[in-house]
Every structure is written in structure tokens, then in C-alpha cells.
A and B are shown apart, each in its own frame.
Chain A
Amino acid sequence: MFYLFSWVSSFFFRPRLDVYRPKERMIFHYWNGEKMVCADPIAIYKRIMAVGPEISIDIKISTSLSKDAPRAQDSLVKSIRGVFSLKPLLDGIDCSGTLSDIESLKLMDQFTLYCDSLKKNLNIFPTSPTATSEPSEYSLDASQPMPNSLDSGSTATEPLSEGPTPSPSAPGSP
């Protein structure tokens, strides 16, 4: 009876594995005009980087006095729609089911701020000890001989000698 109960309960209480699940990557949420979308920020970031130079140039032209500023603005919004998989405007005007141009630009700003916040909250593990940290017990000095306890293959427990080892021909030796 106990084994039967364990067998049945194992279907409901499974041990949690320490792995990433797809939904744990979908941590950036935005409204695409129809529904809330959960997206992987790394995937969005890579899509932005793929068109990064074009977006950068379009931003500069669209904010300049160039006669092609409106065209650059359209190109910029088109690139952003591609990055966030937004539907284009119906007839160029109707934004039902998608975001307007201004909202698309705001979404881009929102994602940029989100990435900045992620970078600021990132926990960086120290890869090297600081200058004020105490030396480790097992730190080795190249000028010092290796302790026998750390010497590979050596199991002897003889102490380290401070001075030179007396030669067999030295006075006092048998």
C-alpha cells in the first residue's frame, strides 16, 4: 500500500531540477497591440545588433535637418517593428492590432532602459583576490620549494628544512 501511494504521488511531486526552463528566459514583457508578449531580452538584443548600424544612422538622420529625415524616421520605425515582431500599420494609418510609430519608438526606449537596469543589477563574481586580501594557506611562492604535503606523489611528512642539506662529506656526518 505504501509503495502504491509513493508511486502515485511521484507523478505530482517531482523533484525540481536545477536547470533553466524556456519560460525563465522570457523575462521582458511588452504590449504588441494585441497581447502581452514575453520575450527573451538576449534574442531581442541580438536582433537589434543585427541592424544596429542602420538604426544608429537612421536616428541621426531623423533628428537632423536633412530633407530625408522623414524617410529615415520611417526606416527607423520599420527596423524597430522587425526587432519586436510588430505588425505594420494597416494602410499606413490604422494601428489596431499593433503599435503606432510613437509607441514603437517608446518600446525601443523601454527596452534600452530595461537592459540598462539589468546591467546595473548584475552581480559580478570576483575573479581575482583583491590586493588587501590575505594570502591563501596554500599559496605558493616560486622562490620557495614546494611543501611535501603538496608534492604530487609524496606522502612523507618530513618537515621543511630551512638551511642547506648537509652533504655526506661534510664534517659531523657519519
Chain B
Amino acid sequence: MPDSATRNFFINGETLVRVRGAVGGPLASVTELGLAEGPIGISMTFHHADIKVDAWGGTEGPPPEVQFMGAEATVNMDLVHVDRNVLDYCIAAAMGRTVIGTLPSAGTRMGSLTNGLRFQSLWKYLAVYLSSPDAGKPWAFLSCYLATPPLELSCGVRRSIFRLNWRVIPYRRDPWNSGSGASGTFLWAHVEPGNDTYYTA
């Protein structure tokens, strides 16, 4: 068993993509980013670590126990329609800033150490909401950023297709939770925007 395993999900059909950022910013409220025509790919990566014991052969033997070591995900989508202003804000947030084209100091945290509660100011992650009318199961990824710059594919004269790759992490301002260990951190939830107000850890 490898240390990590990836599994793909697909959201088929037309999907409305909305984002939400920190309060006080341009994406303080749930804002429509665009429309995905085809399937949206969700790749989840689970991290596990084997516990090896000499009684079962040591490093050569199978593990009698496995530790879960967290999970992350990537979301890949092709948007046939995009609000370019919202996309600019998403790019700026991925660069750790609010104004596109400007850079923060090197080493700046995306979540901020001083005020890193989800959706609070200085928080540069974005929540990405995917409506799934065909499947009837919405997705909400609560701590995302654009892992790569958007790829624009020209489609005709006036239209373009935007390929976006999001990375989703289990963000937590204090993963240690003051020494007792943090649990219950949300990576995703099947909720509509507006029903995630309690996911602010």
C-alpha cells in the first residue's frame, strides 16, 4: 500500500462555480466565477503511514496498523464562461494579495498567522462551491487556491475556455489545537453556499 492514494470523482453536466473569500475583500460574498460545461474532476489524495512492528516482520512485513496522515484534493475544471474580474481576484488571492499583479513579501502565509480564521481578513484562501444540478449533490471546498495559473484556450473569436486547477488543503490556523490535536477540519462538505457559516475553524 503506497503512502498516498488518489481517487478521482467527476461532477458531470453543467456546473455553476462560485467562490468566496475573506471579509472586507472583493469576494466577501459568494460570487459567481463561471460555468463548467463538461465534467469537473476531483482528485482526492489520502495520506497514510504504515506502522511496522518486529512481530510482523519489521520493515519487510505487512503493517498491523496504519495511521491516517491527512488528505488533500485537487479540483480541475474547464469553464466555458468566466467572469474575468472574479478570476482576477482569484489569481490575486493565489499570489497572496488582493490586488492582482502585486506580490507580498516572500514567505507570506496564505492563511495569516495573526488572523487566520476562515473567511476573516488576511485570509487568502478561497472557498469554491460547485453546484451539481444533474447529480443533485453540491460540493463546497473550503480552503482552495489556484495551484497553477489559468490556461486560456481560445474558442472562436469572442469566447475562451479557461482551465483552472485548484488545490484544496485542510486549512487550520492551529493544527496542534493548543497541544490537544486538531480534528474535524473540513476539506470539503456537501453543502450549498450559505450553509457553511459554521465551518470557520
Please give the residue numbers on chain A whose beta carbons come within 8 Å of chain B beta carbons, in ascending order: 51-54, 57, 60-61, 64-68, 72, 75
Contact B35 A61 (CB under 8 A): yes
**Smallest CB-CB A-B distances: 4 pairs:** A53-B156, A54-B156, A53-B155, A57-B80
Nearest-neighbor residue (CB-CB) of A65 within chain B: B16
Query: Assuming A60-B35, A61-B35, is B81 touching A66 (CB within 8 A)?
Result: yes
Contact A57 B155 (CB under 8 A): yes
- Kindly identify, within residues 1 to 58 of chain B, every residue whose CB is under 8 Å from any CB belonging to chain A: 14, 16, 32, 34-35, 37
List chain B residues, Cβ under 8 A from A57: 37, 80-81, 155-156, 159
Contact A53 B14 (CB under 8 A): no
Bound Cα distance from A126 to B80, whole angstroms: 41
- In the complex, 7 of the A-B residue pairs with CB atoms within 8 angstroms, ordered by the A residue number, are A53-B156, A57-B155, A60-B37, A65-B133, A66-B32, A68-B81, A72-B81
Contact A51 B156 (CB under 8 A): yes
Instruction: Give B120 Cβ to nearest chain A Cβ, in Å.
Output: 27
Nearest-neighbor residue (CB-CB) of B133 within chain A: A65
List chain A residues, Cβ under 8 A from B81: 57, 60-61, 66, 68, 72
Contact A64 B14 (CB under 8 A): yes
B66-83 to A contact mask, C-beta < 8 Å, 1/0: 000000000000001101
Bound Cα distance from A52 to B159, whole angstroms: 11
Instruction: Give B97 Cβ to nearest chain A Cβ, in Å.
Output: 26
Query: Assuming A65-B16, A66-B32, A67-B32, is B156 touching A52 (CB within 8 A)?
Result: yes
Instruction: Give B18 Cβ to nearest chain A Cβ, in Å.
Output: 10
Query: Assuming A61-B80, A66-B32, A72-B81, is B157 touching A54 (CB within 8 A)?
Result: yes
